[in-house]
Amino acid sequence: MPAFGSVIAEFERRNAQVLGISVDSEPCNSAWQESLGTLPYPLLSDFWPHGEVASQYGLLRSEGYSERAVIIIDRTGKIAYIDVHNIEEAPDPKVVLDLLAKIE
């Protein structure tokens, strides 16, 4: 698997915007990003109203945190792909890039 930065560059080459969305507050997100060094994509807060975006996508758990998911929204604003997977596992970027190629 290529380095994380080159994966993000591949998304950009395909004119795709990668975003992270967390139900944590902005200060929490900032602290987490600092602990990692930096993220090569924006991390948005879905804190107030708590988990509203996650709820709209059916991803907010009753415990108050969201599922880990990859959502591809096409140029018309329609959901082209959604993958909810184990919160302990990172998604495979190759699968997502392959799907992007199909909707380009």
Q: What is the pLDDT along the chain (104 residues), one digit of tens a residue?
A: 346 678 888 888 888 888 999 999 999 999 999 998 878 889 999 999 999 999 999 999 999 999 999 999 988 889 989 999 888 888 888 888 898 888 87
**What local confidence, expressed as pLDDT, does residue 3 receive?**
63
Sign for the CA dihedral angle at 18, 8, 90, 70 comes to positive
The helix/strand/coil state of 43 is strand
Give the Cα separation of 88 and 77 in Å (integer). Answer: 29
72 is in which domain, residue-wise?
4-103
**What local confidence, expressed as pLDDT, does residue 38 receive?**
79
Number of domains forming the structure of the chain: 1
Give the Cα separation of 2 and 4 in Å (integer). Answer: 6
Q: What is the pTM of this model?
A: 0.79
Backbone angles phi, psi at 43, to 5 degrees: -115, 115
Find out whether 19 and 44 touch, Cβ atoms under 8 Å. yes
CATH number of 38's domain = 3.40.30.10
For 34-62, what is each residue's pLDDT tens digit?
A: 998 878 889 999 999 999 999 999 999 99
Find out whether 84 and 69 touch, Cβ atoms under 8 Å. yes
**What local confidence, expressed as pLDDT, does residue 4 receive?**
66
